[in-house]
Structure 1
Amino acid sequence: MYLFIKIMTFILLLVSPKVFAVAFDSCPSKAYLFQGKPVSVYGINLVTGTNSLLQDDTGLPSNINGVGFNETDRYIYGYDTTNYTIVRLGQNFQATTLNVSGLPSDKTFYVGDVYQHHYYVYRSGTGFYKIDLSPLDSNVNATLTAELITSTASVSLTDFAFHPSNDHLYGVDNGSGGLYEFNISTGVATYIGDTGETGTFGAMYFDVDGNLYLSRNQDGQVYRVNLSTQAIIDSGVVPAVKFADGPFSSQNDGARCANAPLIDTDEPATIDFGDAPDSYGSTLASNGARHALDDTTWLGSSVDGDYYAAQSPDSDDSITSDDEDGVGFVTALEPGLDSVISVTASTEGVLSAWFDWNDDGDFSDEGEQVITDKALVTGSNNIVISVPFGATVGSTWSRFRFSQQSGLAYFGGSTSGEVEDHEITIVDANTTQRHFPSATGYVTLAYEDNWPETADYDMNDLVLRYRITEVLKNGEVAKIIISGKLAAVGASYHSGFAVRLENIIASDIDTTKTRLYYNSVLQSGSPQEAGMSEASFILINDAIDVSSYDCYFFRTNHGCREDIGLEFELQFSLTTPVATENMPAMPYDPFLFATPGYYHGPVFAQAPGRSYEIHLADKAPTEQFNTEFYQLAQDTSDPSTSRYFKTVNNMPWALLIYDEWQWPREYVDLTTAYPDFADYTLSGGETHTDWYDINNAITNKYY
């Protein structure tokens, strides 16, 4: 008996896999993705983009492509591109090689799908074929015959899929992004419209509602094209909208039961939806925000799954457990002011958030994404946001998405995390604004960094565009925004740029709401200077470093026509609003300082560092300044007479010009580029007050 069992086991191992191929039990909601050689089969949840490996050994050392799900017998059919044969796979994804005649013996087929018990394959430049699968119902070894529909196959496809509600195939041309409809009787391809996306769409699927899904090989991104009605198809308006992120591969093909819903409600709910009104993109039909539960990433104390997005009067909390507890609004949301939000994270991840500031029922307007891929730590995270001055007072909505994925939009799927939608209230704070020099304009600040020597006096060593906005609450200054652009760095010395607020005590600044942004990116660390009795902020620590120019000097040589590369914005709030009469006059005190650790000229025995400052004329330096530097070289500063940073002829080392001024070229003396400037300074500013006007400049002497 033992010998008999061993012999039978050996025989079973030798029998063709087709004997053990078992059809799928039902029409599955999952999409199947075939990748690589030898092929591996993945299960894809199109709703979120999550995927799992189902089989890495189909029994063939081959690539299988052109796959399609047959709803009649519930098998997957595909083309073995290695052996030029047709194969069939059941729910264990073991491949059975079929007997087929009538196909070219030297051509592979990467495009295929199944409809009404027929397998269709397509190859550009070769032809369009169909194969009747019904002989397999009685004999898996039956010989199938491929019938040529047409030899005209000019559309560049890597997959197509059957619509569940008509007898047409649809595919997207890789090069043009054009959507085509294929008549399966004649093979005629009809152009429908432009999807707006190009690439190698190696896997295409339909859902039961008539939406076409495109999986792009290069990046795994899944797009959805709405083909749900004939009217939409006839209109030709068929944009491909980003739906989710899936796995990517150079060899990619997909199969799915088109009549299955995307979400199987017979299985436990494993997706979290938002529950704001659907105008914000909440339901699956509107490609709403949704996350696959990964058992690791959520906000607050927990997260639970939904089958759909709850809509008012229901909410996520009312239909399941109260899990919308990860976001807390610590301070009121007031137009023009800062607000603190507390976010509790289960683990490290990234957070993005949107606010409908204008209460128009969407998150798509400029400035409504207020948090972008903010890294969170496990536990509590305090985040400061700025409420726009023009935010509409009253109730509106916000959306928070926490995930291991970055780059999420306010809509679409995510493979991990949670989405929380919160109804919020914008409070009327009686806020107003005042600007220097205007709401949209800039003044120019220009510095000569050779102080106390005049040297080349080209006044282009540090040039900035500069603007201040004060937010007043009930008539008192509550918040300040200092913004600008680094316009030129014609310097060989390393210098920084800072701003002091005279008579504003450093402790009057709310350090929890102080932020510095470079090109809209929040910078780490606090910009407020430590150890100062008056409030002072470092906006740029080393202008040479942050300008990152290709030319020897940044935007001072005539042949160096680079774009401005750095825009900065400093935002800070006062712990208690300050009456306008107690605020320093704008532009406050913007100054240049020497970057610590760098040589700064022969006048100094060692690197002067932060103790070196250059201020606007007759503006006293900060407490960090080394007063022993007074009256070195050409400087005639005299604190007893409130004279600072001027030569004997009143020539300053810093300028503020109420214009977007054009500075002198490198090594061109300011008085050479703008001859009226010398008389302007000698007169104490009484004459030639328009010396800086470009019409008073010498041609070819300014940048």
Structure 2
Amino acid sequence: MKSYVKTNVAYLACVILFFLSISCENLSPDIRINESGINSITVPEQFNWKTSEDYRFVISNSQDQVIEITSLDKNVIYHKGTYIEDSYGQYSIDLNIPAYISEVKVNGNTVSLNGPTVIDLDMKAISSSVNYMVDLSGGLANLGDVDELENIDKFTVEAWINSDDWMTDGPLFYRVLESGHRPKLFRLNLEGGNLYFMAGQYVDYGSRPCFKYQMSAYTNNCVHIALVYDGSASTTSQKLKFFINGEQQTLDGTNYLAPVPTLISGFDTDLFIGSLGGSVDEIRFWDYARTTTQISDNYMKGLMGNEDGLLAYYQCNEGSGSVLIDKTSNYNGSMTSAVWSENTCVDDNSSIDYDFDGIADIYDDFPDDPNRTYAVYWPAAEAGTLIFEDSYPSMGDCDYNDLVVGYRFKTITDAFNKVVEIECEIELKAHGSDSDIGLAFQLPNANLSLLTDLNVEGYNTVNAVSISGNGLETGQDKPVVVVFDQISNLMGDMMNTAIDGNRASPQTITITMTPTPSAYYTNDFKLHEWNPFIIQSNNRGYELHLVNRAPTKLASNSYFGTMDDSSVPSNNRYYVTCNNIPWAIDFPVEFKYVYEGKDLADAYPYFKKWVESGGVDFTDWYTNLASEYRNADYIYSP
């Protein structure tokens, strides 16, 4: 808790706002006005200081078993669950997504967030119920300049092939060095019933590919092939391996026709797939030599597109158009004379389900556990951040580092979308004051039956609060979890905030919330509407919340309207100053907080414009790493 010299300008500003019907009585001498700091900002009256937006996705007519909502690059999963319709024939889920995100993907389909916050999606209109292949007989697709397949000593290519006739000549993929009259090839192709691989050989009279395999026995059958190249290996059999339907084939001198190079390079054309006499599906290029186990365990499974080492992945399930979509978002193909055909090789529903919970392993986060199916993180796999000024009801120095914590919820559900367990990981990062405070959170809109049907473990409490037998705080009318009640039990004063100040390792508290089995859905908890707050270890009636978040039943109302606080409970106005400045801010990602005594607005130049626009402009003011977006000298560095 910090104090400063009285400023008459602040007093005058608040008096003016008082006559505008905003409660600004009993002003503290602590509010400072400077030309660039947070107290110089004109904050719109209704601004809520939220850095994320709430959405409800209402999905109908899905032909897919699993609903997955992700970022455009699919690296962030916002939701995953089994498509089970409610009594209205719909599947509904409430999500909280960072405000700087304008589009997401729902089962691979791009959906705009620049509209209503209730998003109705008829999946029948945007998704295909048919699983397709690409018939490349006489056709091809240009994948562009796949740089990663130039100057390589390792790669793996996989595909499902349904050949009408393995005797029909044509390549599966190829690349050419066009200069000169002896083109150099990087190619996997069929010729006379054999599958040949050329790894940089020149085409000339008497030239030979380095590998062949007889495929004629598989005519009119679906077959999965995988070719694994490792130029760094010491023997020919280790440099080039071949798999059919997940099994490594025994190769000998009749298969290896020429030396296998240690490096494949020297090509100046794009990479093509096509002209094969049949249809292909699930084409995958990897930048490393896949192991026998990796191939045998995964050849019957689909991919998400964000797997490590995956260069390009063509699921071949568009069904129309001339674009062959790469699910890695790296190399979409442009098709010429190729046509779509219904897939008779790999049925999506035939994917392996090892634990027999009804969900294919590719979607199952716990393939060995029939009681657990999905693990979804909020705000995402990356933790969010809470920052506090703990001098309430007086406004302090606006560095918002009196308490800095990271948070992340992990919700585990079963195949029927019932919550099995919720894990809340809280990381105490900084304590920039000398107040002995605690941290708690309320679930204000959760199903009230959870007051008795929820068991909480892992909290760090001493004696400042009263905890019931099931781990929730006693005396509350809504579920309240106390994370810790005395910060002095975890971290000292003025830690991890000053330039030359004290340093301490972050402390992690892991809260586990377990509801009555098979009784509650994710929406029964409404985690995205959580209400975090700090308390004082010697005064349980003291609570400090985010802007306009109501206090809990145990909070004292005696602080409202005192010093710098202008809360008006009858108007649902809470925990803001007379000029609408908060004591706490919540971020849906990791936030780089500022040094002791440095104003948040001075550290992040576009923060002011974001606030004054009511949160419309510069929503990336804290995530953009461009130099003009941040004053690095003001931002804490461990």
> Do the two structures share a fold, i.e. TM-score over 0.5?
no
The structure where strand makes up a greater share of residues is 1
TM-score (norm 2): 0.38
TM-score (norm 1): 0.35
Greater C-alpha radius of gyration? 1
Comparing both chains, which one has the higher relative contact order based on Cα–Cα distances under 8 Å and sequence gaps of 6 or more? 2
